Amino acid sequence: MRIAIKGCKIFDRGDSKFDIIIEEDRIKQILPSVGANYSGFTEIEAGGLVALPGLFDIHCHLREPGYEYKEGIESGTKAAARGGFTSVACMSNTMPPADTASVIRYIIERAGQYGYCKVYPIACITKGQKGEELAEFGDLKEAGAVAFSDDGLPVENPLIMRNALLYAKSHGALIISHCEDKRLSDDGCANEGYNATIAGIKGIPAAAEEVMVARDVILAASLNARLHIAHVSTKGSVEIIRQAKKNGVKVTCETCPHYFAADDSLILDYNANAKVNPPLRGREDVEAVIEGIKDGTIDAIATDHAPHHVDDKNVEFCNAANGISGLETALSLSYTHLVKAGHIALSRLAQLMSAAPARILGLEPRELSDGRRADIALVDFESSFVIDSSQFLSKGKNTPFNGQKVYGAVACTINEGRIVYQDIMCQGR
Amino acid sequence: MLKRKDLLGIKELERGEIEEILNTAVEMKKILKQNVKKVPHLQNKSVVILFHENSTRTRMSFELAAKFMSASASNISIATSSVQKGETLIDTGKTLDALMTDIIVIRHSAAGAPHLLARHVRAGVINAGDGMNEHPTQALLDMFTMRERFGQIEGLTVGIYGDILHSRVARSNIYGLNKMGAKVKVFGPETLLPSGLERLGVKKAGSMEELIEGSDVVMGLRIQLERQKKGLFPSIREYARYYGFTPERTRLLKKQALVMHPGPVNRGVEITTPVLELSQSVINEQVTNGVAVRMALLFLLTRGIRP
């Protein structure tokens, strides 16, 4: 396929307009736009749009195999493409869980059948996510696993976690920790604090997250091992990681749009779409997360895309499933609440959502320059739109952001030189 | 004027609405004291009582309130209902709608369950207790009892003690008493006080003595004995000593003060037999007032429903 994107801005090159010439799966050339025509090319008139490197989601749930009624690799990667993502790393809590090479190979093969985006599976740390015996890191990595995590079922036993961090070193593997001491979160359903108190919902203290962040940072430091912390949501976690980085610990971390674009007041009307784990936090935490993004403590923004069927959400708040469908809103929420709100520049956002996640997983960062892989998102940052979950391509319509006005609609996504998503406006261009 | 389909919590009510309910309950209490305790106001209306948790007084109180008002009152026992077959709350609600129910009285262990139900049914929904959230009719009957005794709620000091954290009764009373202009003090072990308590507009007392002293109403809360196993307090013995209304503490009680408790009580734990037997103890009066308040609510919520 030969594509010519005409007259777009490039995220880190100011207001000048460029043409991006794509041949096969590579960017052949980026040149100043002078209104040239490219015969024999699929032309995209991109006036007003900004080109970003294809986004990389370091943490999502595609639910396949096992929970296809919630999401599948086809619908999930389609949703990713619509969200501007050309790469996603999907979590291990499928059924069966991704604790054997065959499950990893299955996921990669299925993703390849569709080609909407690249899928990098994350395997389990322990067999069956039981927190007992280590999964086969070597075998899993060879099959294509890019990292190891028990995600929602964190490794409770510190000795097993220590062994996992140590064994991972032998295989150059990365451990991703969902930090939560389940004994502290107990059967809580919302952030402990005033809002949970007046909703009468049992709270999850911030300490449930923070004690495990501290534990894992200390373990990683003592072993000089690498560690990535998933979905950081509290002020205390940000502070622990900030200090650890100062001390030279090899720790990286991510947060998610809902930890800076929303707070725990959303639970007050028992909207189960605002139920997520870690829970939406208080204002102080939201501010600390933004501060962590600004000063580089937080390395990446992940979606933690957790699609659920409406039946899993349309029940009593405390009985509802945890999670937010995030692939199709992550960029616009992040742009609106971070860039438009004046906290960070667009180039930093691109780093958080593309270069950094790739680097953390040891993959080649997506860059917009000659000869690089043609992974590109064309985005309209000028006009606003209203989030409408009924239009999601994901099977999961579960978002607390429905009806919110945001900026940054993805107009077109190109994955390895192929157009994998185009909105109606862009098709008409 | 109360113009709602549902009564979900005191949080949602305005002072004027609370006053209207209490005023109506005054009339209802007169009916209860009559020889023939029956009025036709809710003839042809169907009230369904859907309790997902155990209860004696609240369930009976609603049932009798409906019957005294000539409504048909049906009880659904969860143990023998379709809930056991996995029916969702919304589906149960739709079924009750199809059975031409006018009012659903629901008690549920999940906070927000009545709100979820109310959003999906035509029938009016009354919250009879949802998790740790609210128990609005209990607060209404408590406020009724206080107003009956003191003439007004404005200016009273009410001391609530015990397991504030898990108590929907405490929450509903705090919201209601604040709206009605009373001062609320609370006391309990730190493990049983909710986070963000200061923002609820209450003062924290430092001891039972400090709570009782100067209070016009001293309200005890039931402590669930299982909480000891969760490590929230070390023993019943110690709980009773520091957090219970012991006989020695009655010397601090104002002469005209009321001793209240939503029941059922743990004798010798949060409250002791001599205290229960004080002339100031109005725990049984609270139960009677509960029927009057619920009659008032049933009347006010069905006023607009055409036969």
Instruction: Domain ranges for chain B, please list them.
Output: 15-133+287-302, 136-282
Q: Identify whether the C-beta of residue A158 lies closer than 8 Å to the C-beta of residue A231.
A: no
Which tens digits make up the pLDDT trace of A251-299? Answer: 999 999 999 999 999 999 999 999 999 999 999 999 999 999 999 999 9
Do the Cβ atoms of A315 and B88 come within 8 Å? yes
CA nearest B196 in A: which residue?
A: A194
Chain A residues with CB-CB distance to B194 below 8 A? 197
State the pairing for strand pair A300-301/A251-255: parallel
B306 pLDDT tier (thresholds 50, 70, 90): low
Q: Identify whether the C-beta of residue B275 lies closer than 8 Å to the C-beta of residue B259.
A: yes
Which tens digits make up the pLDDT trace of A376-418? Answer: 999 999 999 999 999 999 999 999 999 999 999 999 999 999 9
H-helix or E-strand spanning residue A9: strand A2-10
Nearest to B112 among A195, A311, A316 (CB): A316
- Cβ within 8 Å of residue A246, ≥6 positions away: none
Do the Cβ atoms of B115 and A316 come within 8 Å? no
Residues recorded for chain A? 429
Residues recorded for chain B? 307
Buried b (16+ CB within 10 A) or exposed e, A213-234: bbbbbebbbebebbbbbbbbbb
Q: A354 to each of A76, A254, A299, A369, B162, how far by Cα in Å? A: 18, 12, 11, 14, 52
The confidence score (pLDDT) of residue B1 equals 66
Query: Is the Cβ of A196 closer than 8 Å to some Cβ of chain B?
Result: yes
* DSSP calls for B178-203: HHTT-EEEEE--GGGS-TTGGGGT-E
Identify the residue with better confidence: B36 or B297.
Answer: B297
Do the Cβ atoms of B200 and A198 come within 8 Å? yes
The confidence score (pLDDT) of residue B227 equals 87
Chain B residues with CB-CB distance to A315 below 8 A? 88-90, 116
B188/B202 Cα distance (integer angstroms): 13
Does the CA dihedral B128-B134-B136-B137 come out positive or negative?
positive
Which tens digits make up the pLDDT trace of B145-171? Answer: 999 999 999 999 999 999 999 999 999
- Cβ within 8 Å of residue B300, ≥6 positions away: B2, B20, B21, B24
H-helix or E-strand spanning residue A113: helix A101-114
For residue A380, which phi and psi values (nearest 5 degrees)?
-95, 105
Query: Is the Cβ of A197 closer than 8 Å to some Cβ of chain B?
Result: yes
The DSSP symbol for A162 reads H
Which tens digits make up the pLDDT trace of A142-182? Answer: 999 999 999 999 999 999 999 999 999 999 999 999 999 99
Catalytic site includes residue A304: yes
Taking residues A53-60, report their average pLDDT. Answer: 98
B217/B256 Cα distance (integer angstroms): 9
- Cα distance from B89 to chain A (closest Cα, Å)? 7
In A33-145, DSSP assigns E strands to 42-45, 50-53, 55-60, 85-90, 118-123
pLDDT at A88 over 90: yes
Chain A residues with CB-CB distance to B110 below 8 A? 316-319
Q: What is the identity of the amino acid at A393?
A: L
Q: What is the identity of the amino acid at A428?
A: G
Query: Is the Cβ of A316 closer than 8 Å to some Cβ of chain B?
Result: yes
A48 pLDDT tier (thresholds 50, 70, 90): confident
- Cβ within 8 Å of residue A410, ≥6 positions away: A82, A83, A84, A331, A377, A378, A379, A380, A421, A423
The confidence score (pLDDT) of residue A266 equals 98
Q: Which residue has the tokens 């036993």?
A: A157
* Ordered structural domains, chain A, with CATH: 2-50+373-428 (2.30.40.10), 53-360 (3.20.20.140)
Which tens digits make up the pLDDT trace of B233-284? Answer: 999 999 999 999 999 999 999 999 999 999 999 999 999 999 999 999 999 9
To the nearest whole percent, how much of chain A has pLDDT over 70?
99
The confidence score (pLDDT) of residue B83 equals 78
| 199-228 in chain B: CB under 8 A from chain A | 199-200
Average pLDDT, rounded, for chain B:
95
- Cα distance from B137 to chain A (closest Cα, Å)? 16
Per-residue HEC secondary structure of A322-381 comes to CCECCCCCHHHHHHHHHHCCCCCCHHHHHHHHHHHHHHHCCCCCCCCCCCCECCEEEEEE
Chain B residues with CB-CB distance to A198 below 8 A? 11, 171, 196, 200
Does the fold of domain B136-282 match that of domain B15-133+287-302? yes
The confidence score (pLDDT) of residue B226 equals 84
Query: Is the Cβ of A268 closer than 8 Å to some Cβ of chain B?
Result: no
The confidence score (pLDDT) of residue B86 equals 84
Which tens digits make up the pLDDT trace of A215-246? Answer: 999 999 999 999 999 999 999 999 999 999 99
- Cα distance from A195 to chain B (closest Cα, Å)? 8
Taking residues B14-30, report their average pLDDT. Answer: 97
| 32-71 in chain A: CB under 8 A from chain B | none
The DSSP symbol for A201 reads -
Q: Which of the listed CATH numbers 3.30.1490.20, 3.40.50.150, 3.40.50.1370, 2.40.50.100 matches domain B136-282? A: 3.40.50.1370
Mutation to test the B interface, candidates A195, A197, A204, most B Cβ within 10 Å: A197
Q: Which of the listed CATH numbers 3.30.465.10, 1.10.3720.10, 3.40.50.1370, 3.90.550.10 matches domain B15-133+287-302? A: 3.40.50.1370
H-helix or E-strand spanning residue A412: strand A405-415
Do the Cβ atoms of A270 and B168 come within 8 Å? no
- Cα distance from A317 to chain B (closest Cα, Å)? 7
- Cα distance from B25 to chain A (closest Cα, Å)? 27
Q: Identify whether the C-beta of residue B107 lies closer than 8 Å to the C-beta of residue B58.
A: yes
Taking residues A111-125, report their average pLDDT. Answer: 97
H-helix or E-strand spanning residue B26: helix B15-32
Which tens digits make up the pLDDT trace of B39-68? Answer: 999 999 999 999 998 888 899 999 999 999
For residue B170, which phi and psi values (nearest 5 degrees)?
-60, -45
Q: What ipTM describes this predicted complex?
A: 0.92
Do the Cβ atoms of A316 and B108 come within 8 Å? yes
Chain A residues with CB-CB distance to B90 below 8 A? 314-315
Question: The pTM is what?
Answer: 0.94
